[in-house]
Structure 1
Amino acid sequence: MPHAYLSTYPPCALCRCSDAGERHQIDDEPGQLVCGSCFVRLPECERCHALVLTLTAVADDRQLCKGCTSGWVGCVSCRELTETHMRTDTGDPVCMRCAAVFFDLCITCSRYSAASRYVSGGGRVCTRCAAIYDSCLACGTLLRAGRVCDPCSRRDRVWNYSYKPDPIFHGDGPLYLGMELEVIVPDESYTDCVTAATDHLGDLGYLKQDSSIQPQGFELVTHPMSYRHAIEHFPWRLLEVLEKLGCQTDHTVGLHVHASRDGFDCPAHVYRWLKLLYRNESAVTTLARRRSHYAPFDRAARAKARDTAKSHQHALGLERYQAINPYPRKTLELRVFASSLDVQCVQAALAFTAASIDYTRGLRVADVRAGAWEWSAFAAWVNTQPDYQPLAAEMEDLACAC
């Protein structure tokens, strides 16, 4: 706002000097006058550009004045100040950044939901709006119309990358594993490969497009499985069938394993698991059979492990493409493994995820001081666990069993 040249010189409200010179009004403090030297150092609101005494950090990483944040409240997710026009299905305010990362937009009420359901044909709805939809007679998927959902009517289909149906849990929890296996597929047998994969998978999984697979291919995604159910009921012969049809894997395609957060005892257990993996990067990458820019061991994520162990909400600001992706609401995604059509390699990836969680479940401070975080201690423990035989065999083959 315009300032006046005064014939008298009241003390500057900041430095208290009374030297001759202009005095300037502070925009957010009526009656407060400052000298020219202090005026040019006042912070500027990033919204209205007023020069003020203090600014407040808000959810979108801006610094705003108190006038611009009048009536703002804490985001239900990150707790930082945000406007109130965006709401969740529970009526809580949510900032734009958290809404985009951690919530789904309900196509019926246009509110954001942390527990949405898939609707046949595309889109998601909050649990409240789900009550107005019919369900598929075969699998329970919500329907816009008809009696059978699109997944049930089109089993032999490769869905778009954003496709995320309601999970179907297989086996006994609380630890469930979800596998994403990227496969390079030849053009001449693409249709045969899709048919073979969907026929073998049944209701255990589905296929998705993935533009990172070159020249072309698909991502085989399973529904959540207990480790035992995966070993006993995943159609392992499918890997041989795909290989005979000309499918390939190499270091450019990955095998990702999601582990349910509910499978951990507490945040401290998650932290112990993260520490085991981060402290043994060399051995883990040997077992994974690759280092990839899609799954680096991120230093910032390692430094923030104590926070991300508590909740996915603390992942903001970190990279998604890292060795352990903490962004999913209900899982932790282990992204380190190279894809494979070898049964032992794939089973070992599942076994390592389950075994490392099992191993760190009971670790205590005395165990850690005695060397329990050393790879050799973990490897020795694996050799005493018959359930994890695929992992023991793979570690032996890759010379990382000690």
Structure 2
Amino acid sequence: MPASTVADPLCEQRSSPVRSEELTITVDGARDCADGLSRCDRCTTEARADTLARTVDDTLLCLACLTDWDRCGDCAIYTRDIRTVIGAAADVCAECASGYETCNDCGELATDLLPVDGDNRVCERCEDKNYHECSDCFTLVPLDTTYCDSCADTYPTHPAVRSSYYTPVPQFHGDGPLFLGMELEIKTPRNRDYHNAVDTTVTHVGDLAYLKTDGSITCGFELVTHPMSYQYALQHFPWQLLGRLRLLGRYTDDGVGIHVHLSRAGFSSPAHAYRWLKFVYRNEHSVTTLARRRDSEWAEFSPQQRSNAQDYAKGGQAGYGRYQAINVYPEHTFELRVFASSLHPQQVQAALAFAAASVEYTRGLSAADIARRRGWEWTAFTTWVRSRPDYSPLLAEMEALACAS
């Protein structure tokens, strides 16, 4: 009987038979030829070279010994000193980290740093959180700053004029439900007159209003009131200030406007808000005549906006930009943007009066009014205004502009 034969074991590395004494068990449990194997520098277990990884200490470690090491996202070498880099796909070792710059704001490493006013450089995270572009160029400046150092030499500043981003806690004046917040844009002819205009305005408005910069005004400011009832505005706003500013040479033109914020809470229901939006858009010609401003790029009467009135009345905000006749983006207000700016009290009062009167008129507008008395039409509105003396500035302005019928 022939002797039984036992197959020679296979070398898993070469996939060929070898004598048993030529095999060794590697760290990963494979049976490999002893020749050509390397050793883990930590546990000394033999392993194939392709299963060992190099560390920053120039050692080769097996996977089991690498459990407390991290792999550098740049050089792929393992390290115990791993560094986070803002903007990088993965953390890096100390040596690779030396190739990155440090953000001057947060002190963290970053892949890209952006220059800001004053020669510092900041990471994209700090840029999003703390900076915006200068109102006249692309230089990044802190959020509470309007102009970079270079542009500030051209455009005047005043500590009482806040950044355009400034939004204080609103202080309500008068009785609701409807409150109006007015933004009145004013220009100053020369830089040297700027401080006098600001000081005069601040003295007159007191705590009722504050001043802000505006990107559309090169030399001037935006006067912003806290929310007021219409009656409170007529009685307590310092109307004499407008004449005073006019005498001092301050002015308005086609590039500036009056914006009136109407509190959404002042509407009795979404249906009421819809009637108001529809009334304004249906009477574009008369409204723009009263507003003394047509075809304004800052207050567009777009048909798309008009067609979405029902959605806006219910709180929808998906629109076509805020430069519409009625800006629906603010969460708590509708912003009526149609009026040209003015330093004449009757014209400014008429803007507030129209905002208040149009809301009250549409509050009680019924289906019968619309069907039998042409309630949507401007003539019905002017007839309603004539019977209400509280809106006399509006009626006077309508008559002056020949749009009272």
The alignment's TM-score, normalised by the length of structure 1, stands at: 0.61
Q: Deviations over 1:8-62 (max 9, x none)?
A: xxxxxxxxxxxxxxxxxxxxxxxxxxxxxxxxxxxxxxxxxxxxxxxxxxxxxxx
Residue among 329, 332, 337 paired with 2:331: 329
Q: Which residue of 2 aligns with 1:219?
A: 222
How far, CA to CA, are the matches of 2:223 and 2:278 in structure 1?
Answer: 29
3-state SS of paired residue (2:221): strand
Does structure 2 conserve the Cα–Cα contact (< 8 Å) formed by 1:382 and 1:388? yes
Residue among 347, 354, 357 paired with 1:355: 357
Residue among 261, 266, 269 paired with 1:266: 269
The structural deviation recorded for 1:355 is 0.2
The structural deviation recorded for 1:318 is 2.5
Q: For residues 365-380 of structure 1, what are the structure 2 equivalents within 5 Å? A: 365-370=367-372, 371-380=374-383
Residue among 197, 208, 222 paired with 1:193: 197
Q: Which residue of 2 aligns with 1:83?
A: none
How far, CA to CA, are the matches of 1:357 and 1:228 in structure 2?
Answer: 14
Q: Which amino acid aligns with 1:376?
A: T
Does structure 2 conserve the Cα–Cα contact (< 8 Å) formed by 1:351 and 1:388? yes
Q: For residues 10-25 of structure 1, what are the structure 2 equivalents within 5 Å? A: none
Matched, 1:206 2:210: yes
3-state SS of paired residue (1:315): coil
Q: Deviations over 1:159-215 (max 9, x none)?
A: 0100000000011111100000000112221101000111111110100001202x4
Q: How high is the sequence identity, in percent, across the aligned residues?
A: 59
Does structure 1 conserve the Cα–Cα contact (< 8 Å) formed by 2:194 and 2:219? no
How far, CA to CA, are the matches of 2:400 and 2:159 in structure 1?
Answer: 36
The structural deviation recorded for 1:106 is 11
How far, CA to CA, are the matches of 1:307 and 1:317 in structure 2?
Answer: 10
Q: Which amino acid aligns with 1:211?
A: G
Q: Which residue of 2 aligns with 1:295?
A: 299
Q: Which residue of 2 aligns with 1:147?
A: none
The structural deviation recorded for 1:296 is 0.8
Q: Deviations over 1:266-325 (max 9, x none)?
A: 0000000011111100000000001211101011111110000010xx222422110000
* Moved segments of 4+, more than 2 Å: none
Q: Which amino acid aligns with 2:301?
A: F
3-state SS of paired residue (1:168): coil
Does structure 1 conserve the Cα–Cα contact (< 8 Å) formed by 2:182 and 2:258? yes
Q: Deviations over 1:327-349 (max 9, x none)?
A: 10000000000000000000000
Q: Which amino acid aligns with 2:369?
A: D
Does structure 2 conserve the Cα–Cα contact (< 8 Å) formed by 1:156 and 1:194? no
Q: Which amino acid aligns with 2:305?
A: A
Does structure 1 conserve the Cα–Cα contact (< 8 Å) formed by 2:305 and 2:319? no
3-state SS of paired residue (1:389): helix
Residue among 265, 277, 280 paired with 2:280: 277
Q: Which residue of 1 aligns with 2:401?
A: 398
Does structure 2 conserve the Cα–Cα contact (< 8 Å) formed by 1:156 and 1:195? no
Q: For residues 78-89 of structure 1, what are the structure 2 equivalents within 5 Å? A: none
Q: Which residue of 1 aligns with 2:175?
A: 172
How far, CA to CA, are the matches of 1:170 and 1:156 in structure 2?
Answer: 25
Matched, 1:184 2:224: no
Matched, 1:235 2:259: no
How far, CA to CA, are the matches of 1:396 and 1:317 in structure 2?
Answer: 34
Does structure 1 conserve the Cα–Cα contact (< 8 Å) formed by 2:262 and 2:333? yes
The alignment's TM-score, normalised by the length of structure 2, stands at: 0.60
How far, CA to CA, are the matches of 1:286 and 1:217 in structure 2?
Answer: 26
Matched, 1:163 2:163: no
Unpaired segments ≥5 residues, structure 2: 1-127, 131-142, 145-157
How far, CA to CA, are the matches of 1:336 and 1:196 in structure 2?
Answer: 27
Q: Which amino acid aligns with 2:377?
A: E
Q: Which amino acid aligns with 1:353?
A: A
Q: Deviations over 1:136-178 (max 9, x none)?
A: xxxxxxxxxxxxxxxxxxx961001000000000111111000
Distance change (3 Å), C-alpha of 1:324 and 1:242: same
User: How many aligned residue pairs are there?
Assistant: 252
Distance change (3 Å), C-alpha of 1:317 and 1:273: closer
Of the two, which has the highest radius of gyration? 2
